[in-house]
Structure 1
């Protein structure tokens, strides 16, 4: 049986497809391919459970032509949008589609109702292929580091043992204010490495300057692969609702996952199959205000981040 799994974005959502591919591969005589955007190919590079990676082309017609040429027996649509609908229609291939529960999520967000069961996204994905006899192996997500790296080459000598703090996130309301990050870093029992992209390099500089050499700012300096490597070597990981924090789950490290305007229950993206984890957030009548985060707090107070209990995070990482 030849199967094409589709998920175009984003980093976290694609990361959580890796158990689906791994579990599909346990079926007898199955060949598994995956289609995504070129920007996310790194997630499946070196993945031993995937037989072939297809990349979305600029022209959807070209992508459809490529799909037709592969003669798939089944499409597993884990994205469920207009483009995947067109692909399924124009290829005529038998398909199964992930239920995004759009209405229930919208009502839950708009009226602060709990209409979506707090089931992890991996398990929601797996329901899509349950009819094939696929069984959840209850293992963490998969991520394979691309090159050999060295802590000694990436970090100063003072950081042989360290905590990783992922301070990057696409939207402002997913990020903790610098002052609280500074306060947490000052209380950690080990040196801290800040991780993120160029967009938070300035934040990292402010935090490192305030705390001193105990904190090393790697934001915008390390490549993604190097950042993942550092996460894999950290004693513990603290991070916001962002891709690198989710990738850290592949290495079964203690993870403190910090949530501001978004909530993990709605999206089903709390740490998955990690031996030790903390999901930190505060209960507020205005939370969640968004599924994916916003550029600013709609009410101006940003209590969802400023009122998070620092001691809970410190106790988790220091024990």
Structure 2
């Protein structure tokens, strides 16, 4: 009979990185089910906890208001978190983030073993691990995460192709958006913002793309974090100020998501929605989630984080990929309707 394993994953942030890490859960559970009954705990920053709240693989989500406490220098909250974490006990802790703060959190827990990357993002982190797993920092993010998780248990590492097509690992609560019912054609979401300016596709380029879409009868939806002024020289809907739970529901209702290398385009991949990810200063070879329905374009030639090459991506090239994905979707719908 499989023994119960109380496992904790420390992956505090950010949205896309959390999604990358969570995507290995279905294959990890399958690989371990004969040996263990997994009780999975996930330690996450409160800012991003909604992303994982509905995952069928997580028994307990432990949100920490760490980002806000550090930002406001709230020592009282930091000490309270430290005190609470010291009461938690686990068989194994995986530091999937590789930062000093995530390693310190892992060390604060009562754990028999702490596993982390031999080449973490911050080298001091590995001082707090019981054992570290070797994989180059330059490896693809999905393969890097899987190597740590599977290597902890001495399991074979899945191929990158397998990791790019995981079983469902997120969930969401349905939310209604009244304007969606007025869209008679395919629903296309354009993500206007990312975490960094050099990963953000310019608004004027999105408007050029929108004019091409309008000519084919599509009215895209622009998504931004805050209200912004957008020139009314094309037809589009604009939605903003959504919390992460509503963003999950919105993405799940889309026929296509287009945006920079950011959490929301990665969310489309996770929710099995077609997407086009636009890479500028981040290396596509490390972060692409390419599948037949999740495509990408890259403007980067030298992996220089200080460049803004993403602005050179031609809207017409994005439009061509859009047509390809939407036509493929229409073809599948036609085939189902004629069975």
Partner of 2:170: 143
Deviation, structure 1 residue 191: 1.5
Equivalents in 2 of 1:98, 1:116: separation in Å?
Answer: 9
Residue 119 to residue 71, structure 1, CA distance change in 2 (3 Å): same
Please provide the CA RMSD for this pair. 2.9
Deviation, structure 1 residue 48: 1.4
The reply to whether residue 98 of structure 1 matches residue 102 of structure 2 is no
Equivalents in 1 of 2:211, 2:317: separation in Å?
Answer: 14
Equivalents in 1 of 2:16, 2:252: separation in Å?
Answer: 17
Partner of 1:112: none
Partner of 2:44: 36
Equivalents in 2 of 1:122, 1:74: separation in Å?
Answer: 21
Aligned with 2:228: secondary structure?
helix
Q: Which of the numbers 294, 306, 312 marks the counterpart of 1:307? A: 312
Deviation, structure 1 residue 141: 6.2
1:144-200 CA-to-partner distances (Å, cap 9, x unmatched) read 222x2235x1436145532111111122222222221111111123210111210xx
Partner of 2:328: none
The reply to whether residue 217 of structure 1 matches residue 244 of structure 2 is no
Residue 100 to residue 309, structure 1, CA distance change in 2 (3 Å): farther
Q: Which of the numbers 186, 195, 204 marks the counterpart of 1:161? A: 186
The reply to whether residue 84 of structure 1 matches residue 102 of structure 2 is yes
Q: Which has the higher strand share?
A: 2
Structure 2 unmatched ranges of 5 or more: 70-76, 124-134, 325-339
Q: Does the 8 Å contact 1:25/1:31 carry over to 2? A: no
Q: With CA pairs under 8 Å and 6+ residues apart, which has the higher RCO, 1 or 2? A: 1
Partner of 1:192: 220
Structure 1 unmatched ranges of 5 or more: 105-114
Equivalents in 1 of 2:175, 2:109: separation in Å?
Answer: 43
Equivalents in 2 of 1:98, 1:117: separation in Å?
Answer: 9
Equivalents in 2 of 1:306, 1:140: separation in Å?
Answer: 34
Q: Does the 8 Å contact 2:99/2:120 carry over to 1? A: no
Equivalents in 2 of 1:21, 1:271: separation in Å?
Answer: 16
TM-score scaled to structure 2, two decimals?
0.74
Residue 169 to residue 127, structure 1, CA distance change in 2 (3 Å): same
Aligned residues: 284
Equivalents in 2 of 1:231, 1:88: separation in Å?
Answer: 32
